[in-house]
Chain A
Amino acid sequence: MRPGFTAMPVTRRKLQTTTVLAYVILIGVCFFNLLPFVFMLSTSLKTDQEAYAIPPTFWPKQATLDAYTQVIVWTNFPRYFMNSTIVSLGTALLSTVLGALAGYGFSRFNFRGRGLYMGLVLATQLLPGVLLIGPYFKLLAAVGLYNTYLGLILAFTTITLPFSAWMLKGFIDTVPEEMDHAALVDGCTPLGAFTRVVLPVIAPGMVATIVFAFLLAWGDLLWALVLTSGDDMAMVTLGLSRLVTQFRIVWPQLMAGSVIASVPCMVLYLALQNYLVKGLTAGAVKE
């Protein structure tokens, strides 16, 4: 650490090149990201007729909110939405909490079998869900957790937890050990050191993990398909997949549903993105 520095204003010229470059890249990103999105949005505003037209149109000639009405009012979409939100939020929280704890344990402590356990955590991800789903379903049914929120949360957490743990371990690794050592010396328990010193510093990492776990649970189809029964527990991805019928894909409604389905993720991200701010790392170790 450089001693005795003072914050000095940066030269104007330097500021401008990096800023301009950043803007250029970000505008490019906007185009790249948004094109399919805009297409989704415009399709969701089309009539059935126009959505299937060959040659296609980009902007709807006859915009209508019909698809949205159909999806929100005439299907059980609000219910799927609620189910997905509850399950995804539960999964995100559970896997972030457990993952952070595990990440701290793996990062700071060199206990016996540490490498093996870390490898094992990751190894659970190597087998595709297709194979695991049969036995897992039997397990859930035996314990009586089939078709419940808890059963779903546990299922999704097993998918998100290994990655959460590894991601958070990576973030925690970037925090110098001296910081929590200092806290321990000051009389904290290890858990205290963890929550008071390390967590605030990796807040951006926690945000990333929460968002990641949420989106993973939100977007999963196979487990949602098999581990729920009936309409009441169905999730958004399931509801959307039903719009791909034997005979056609009901595009406007599918796109309307997808647009609506992307909202919670954006809301979550917006709410948390304050933590993705530079400078939260105030509190460097004093030597």
Chain B
Amino acid sequence: MKKFVFLLVVGSLLMTTAGCQAPTPAATQPPPATQAPAAPPTVAPTKAPQVVTLRVSNWHLAEKHWEKTIKDAIPIFEKENPDIKVNLEVISYAEKEAKYATEIQAGAGPDLIHLAGYSIRNFVESGYLYDITPFIQKEPVGFLDQWYPHLVELFKYQGKQYGLPSDYMAMILAYDKKLFTEAGLDPNKPPKTWDEFLDYAKKMTRDRKGSGKTDTWGFGTVGTIDPGWELRFSPVLLSHGAAYLTPDNKCSALNTPEAKEAFKFWVGLVTDAKVVPPGVTSQGAGAVRTQFANELIAMKIGSGWTAPIIPTINKDFNIQENLGAAPMPVKAGKTLAKTTTAWYSGWMITKNTKYPEQAWRLLKWLTSKESDQRWFDGARVLSSRRDVSGDPDKGIKAYQPILDDKFSQVIQAELKNAQINPQLKEWPQIADTVNKEVQNAFTGSKSADAALKDAYDQINKILAPYRKAGETCPAY
């Protein structure tokens, strides 16, 4: 009897594995399977077009309102290009690098991927991407001028172009006008300098609801290890006149008096002035937004995503009346070229695509003017195209809806003051190092000075490959 049960178990197991192939529709089969009747991929489209399926992966598909914008736009492309079918794949933001890297290494990656600035350099320099220089050379002269040149550069490696920029925004100060008014501050006069900022923050850190203890704080920020951390700390460094690295990327520049001042200021917000809610080292960007939407904090550093997301967290938050946007505060008495940090993303073709020509067409379309305008309409994210985000120096006006939107217009104006963070393969590691030392300083494990010194030393170690033998960095 037991033997019978045993065989039954084994038998059912075999049945499971026998009928094991999932009924995947043709569109999602991995590259080795046939997708189109033997069509040589690089033939010019003079023959009757065979339908080719492109896999496009984008983390934006995980967010409801963004997914809709993307899904509504794709049919437009498919109508204009009847020989291409687009298959959208969602991926979570945190796991995208892991998945893409593994898939591309094994030759089974998607055709197009979308990455945020944080990891773009890693992918560009790791050889995972398809070189689109030949395609660009076939385009009319000045093709690459459609985007801001410093962004196009970010996708270049060893003279070859590996992708095109997509989103582009500047970090600004978002604030709650209602909390300003309640604390006796003028909601139309946001702080312009860091001293003002500190002053405002202190005034708004109080017992607002009569609970007997502080229940509202002036400022909230990201403190945990989070890719968005660098976007909140970097503006402070920049607007004090400091930088992470020396221009030649050989050493850290955190040993300058400006850097020390910026670091001490930032740490002081938590340890001395206490204008930040408790537990900052465990807060991610989402948590800070939740705090802001619940009126736990009065100010935060944010960008284009802030305005659309806040109402989904708290629908009682009146965006039109109470959400204020201000340029990043600066250090009083300093004139600086760059005072805030830029956020950007890009579209790239992966190196194992079987249909580079079709992928190129899709890439062009995804980064076209109409696409970026549609994207702003749906997602409130600005573009890296001059003809969408504007270029006053060249007399190019921005897309009107950007200028009409109170929040976005501040971002657009700050673009010229925005600095991209150092673009190295080692950037994630450098950012994490500083992040951890800020955490150590926030929690009091180390003094601000000791923490900064450790960050400085560790970054210099990380940058060792960039220095020639005999070159050393100055002491802290």
Contact = CB atoms under 8 A, between A and B. Distances in A.
Partners in one complex: yes
Nearest to B18: A150
Contact of B17 (A149, A233, A243): A149
B199 interface: no
Interface in B8-57: 9-10, 12-13, 16-17, 20-25, 28-30, 32, 55
Contacts of A16: none
A242 B24 contact: no
A274 to B, nearest CB: 14
Contacts of B289: 247-248
A155 B185 CA distance: 61
B231 to A, nearest CB: 12
B98 A244 contact: no
A232 B25 contact: yes
Contacts of B391: none
Interface stretch (A29-37, A174-182, A195-203, A258-266): A195-203
B63 A247 contact: yes
B95 A241 contact: yes
A229 B108 contact: yes
Contacts of A195: 2-3, 6
Contacts of A94: 13
Nearest to B21: A148
Given A196-B2, A229-B89, A247 B294 contact: no
Interface centre among A199, A225, A231, A247 (most CB of B within 10 A): A247
* Chain B contact residues: helix, strand, loop or mixed: helix
Contacts of A146: 30, 108
Interface residues of A, number: 46
Contacts of B12: 93
Nearest to A100: B6
A48 B13 contact: no
B16, B28, B29, B106 interface centre (most CB from chain A within 10 Å): B106
Given A94-B13, A200-B2, A232-B28, A137 B106 contact: yes
Contacts of B21: 148-150
Interface in A75-130: 83, 86, 89-90, 93-94, 97
B106 A52 contact: no
B113 to A, nearest CB: 13
Given A138-B105, A229-B28, A242 B9 contact: no
Nearest to B87: A230
Contacts of A247: 63, 285-286, 289, 305, 309
A222 B95 CA distance: 9
A147 B98 CA distance: 17
B74 interface: no
Contacts of A27: none
A149 B16 contact: yes
26 contacts: A48-B313, A93-B16, A97-B10, A97-B13, A137-B105, A138-B107, A141-B108, A146-B108, A147-B29, A147-B30, A149-B16, A149-B17, A149-B20, A150-B21, A195-B2, A195-B3, A195-B6, A196-B3, A199-B2, A225-B98, A230-B28, A232-B28, A242-B62, A242-B90, A242-B91, A246-B59
